[in-house]
Structure 1
Amino acid sequence: MTIFNPPHPGEILREDVLHALNMKVAVLARHLGYGREHLSRVLHGRAPISPDLALRLERAGIGRARTWLAVQTDYDLWHLERREQPAIERLIAAV
């Protein structure tokens, strides 16, 4: 199944989680022991969810770290696949 323009995971965190918790960015950042400015960059899609942030979210009961990282990876790969790539020949022929 192909994903069409997946949302940045920070957008999901901002629109679904923060909204459901009725929580401000500064409050979540303080709770996670994370910088408010950096968390804001993640929430607005200008920075990726790092393994550190993913683990902090899991410890706070906001999803699983592996899920957050998988969503970030899907987002990154989708965008990379749409950029011009260098021509790379296969090293091993398909079996």
Structure 2
Amino acid sequence: MHNPPHPGETLREDVLSALNISVTEMARRLGLARETLSRILHERAPISPDLAVRLERAGIGRARTWLSVQSDYDLWQAENRTQPTIERFAELA
């Protein structure tokens, strides 16, 4: 699997430009602080379940889809960073 996009990239590149509104306006409509939305759009913060529900209520996709994209991103990041050596457990009887 390739490195999936952060959902903030999709919001920034596709949704925000399609709506032709500012970050400030989008944040206001979603009930977020502008700084919070900016961190998500710049891929420095994840989309939370709360934000996913707000996006769905605003007519911007489905909450489960936003969380799935975030989960795919997070899992890929975890699988591709250095991890400690893990010792497998014996199968449980």
TM-score with structure 2 setting the length: 0.91
Moved over 4 A (4+): none
CA distance, structure 2, for counterparts of residue 82 and residue 75 of structure 1 = 11
Match of 1:19 in 2: 17
Q: Partner of 1:63 in structure 2? A: 61
2:84 partner letter: P
For residues 74-93 of structure 1, the aligned pairs below 5 Å read 74-93=72-91
In structure 1, stretches of 5+ residues that fail to align are none
Identity of aligned residues (%): 71
Question: For 2:27, which of 19, 26, 29 is the aligned residue?
Answer: 29
Residue identity in the other structure for 1:64: R
TM-score, normalised to structure 1, is 0.90
- For 2:90 and 2:67, how far apart are their aligned partners in 1? 29
Change (3 A) 1:71 1:92: farther
CA RMSD of aligned residues (A): 1.1
Letter in 2 for 1:17: V
Any idea what SS the aligned residue of 1:45 has?
Answer: coil
State how far apart, in whole Å, the 1-side matches of 2:44 and 2:3 are. 16
Q: Report how many aligned residue pairs link the two structures.
A: 91
Task: Determine the C-alpha separation between the residues in 2 that align with 1:19 and 1:42.
Answer: 15
